[in-house]
Amino acid sequence: MGVPDFQSFFKPLLDIAADGKEHSLKEARERIAAVMDLSQEDLEDLIPSGTQSRFANRVTWAKSYFVQAKVLDATKRGHFVITERGRDLLKQGHDRIDVSVLSQYPEFVEFHGANRRGRSSSTGSKEVSTIQETPEEVFQQAYESMRGELASELLSKVKDNSPAFFERLVVDLMVAMGYGGSRADAGKSVGRSGDEGIDGIIKEDRLGLDVIYLQAKRWEGTVGRPEIQKFVGALSGKRAKKGVFITTGTFSGEALAYAEKIESRLVLIDGRKLVEHMIDFNIGTSTAHTYDLKRIDTDYFNEE
């Protein structure tokens, strides 16, 4: 059935706290998962960053929203208890509790106001009550979207430049990733220009204990199995066990399947993976803004 929207966790969480006892988030997750009849696949679905399950993230944020609305009190890390305001909220008899319901509390309005800035002036309680994701999910989705746009633009830039530029780019990337020793060493090993591509041998580490055979083609279309077979033949001729094939295009399904079956260790990097690596290792990109997402350091406040 999939993990329900973020605000669907509000009412079940408050129902758990209704007995007035202290509860842990671990217990809350287990009980809510049972009430919602979520599958193991649902529980293992990750948020965009891959650092936490979507289910656990939404339970945690539901508790955070309730604490800001003073419906729950955070007794200690990962634990909570209902407040008098929370009991009053239960008495209101809501079938569903969402952001619009919590907006009756001024403390919550002050907290949540920042999340609503930037929306259109016509945003009303009905639209706010349909919010699906937690603030963390929204932030990460925005990051992934901007990164995707950057990757597409970067790939177009790479394709628009000359074969000589592509040759330098590959060398810069391999060195940034820790291969080839110095930039000068890598430049000497890689650089025999071919049909709008480069071929060469690059050191796997600074000491040159092993080498990697490299082929890169600035192609617009799809690299098929025959091209990979030729490359594997070149690896065999060099008695090389490791190879990297880089293209600005894509690889066919047959090419990918063939690469997985051969004895030599062969890595295929298509245009999309190429620019992803360029972003990760700051090749042709620079940081425009940095945002630090911080959490409470509970050890700092421990007086024991």
- Taking each helix axis from N to C terminus, what angle separates 54-68 and 106-116, rounded to the nearest 10 degrees? 130
Residue 212, pLDDT score: 84
Give the chain's length.
304
Residue 27, pLDDT score: 96
Residue 255, pLDDT score: 94
- Measured at the CA of 138, the angle between CA 151 and CA 3, to 5 degrees, comes to 110
Give the whole-number percent of the chain exceeding pLDDT 90.
45
Q: Report the C-alpha gap between 99 and 134 in whole angstroms.
A: 12
pLDDT tens string 252-291: 999 999 999 887 789 999 999 999 999 999 999 988 888 7
The residues of the chain scoring below 70 in pLDDT are 1, 113-131, 181-183, 186-199, 208, 298-300, 302-304
Residue in this structure with the two tokens 């780019």, named with its chain if needed: 169
Residue 304, pLDDT score: 58
CA distances for 118 relative to 113, 114, 115, 121, 122, angstroms: 10, 9, 8, 9, 11
Residue 199, pLDDT score: 66
Residue 192, pLDDT score: 52
* Beta strands 79-82 and 23-24, pairing class: antiparallel
Structure tokens at 68: 């800001």
Residue 34, pLDDT score: 94
Q: Report the C-alpha gap between 189 and 210 in whole angstroms.
A: 13
CA nearest neighbour of 231 among 200, 276, 186: 200
Residue 197, pLDDT score: 42
Residue 39, pLDDT score: 93
Residue in this structure with the two tokens 């999340």, named with its chain if needed: 115
| Inter-residue contact 70 to 107 (CB < 8 Å) | yes
DSSP 243: E
153 CB contacts (<8 Å, ≥6 apart)? none
CA dihedral 156, 234, 259, 185 (to 10 degrees): -50
| Inter-residue contact 248 to 159 (CB < 8 Å) | yes
Q: How far apart are the first and last CA of the chain?
A: 46
| Inter-residue contact 275 to 155 (CB < 8 Å) | yes
Residue 1, pLDDT score: 66
216 CB contacts (<8 Å, ≥6 apart)? 166, 167, 170, 197, 198, 199, 245, 246, 247
Residue 190, pLDDT score: 61
Q: Report the C-alpha gap between 285 and 278 in whole angstroms.
A: 7
Residue 191, pLDDT score: 55
Based on the number of CB atoms within 10 Å of its own CB, is 297 exposed (0-12), middle (13-18) or buried (19 or more)?
A: exposed
Residue 119, pLDDT score: 42
| Inter-residue contact 59 to 67 (CB < 8 Å) | no
Residue type present at position 166: F
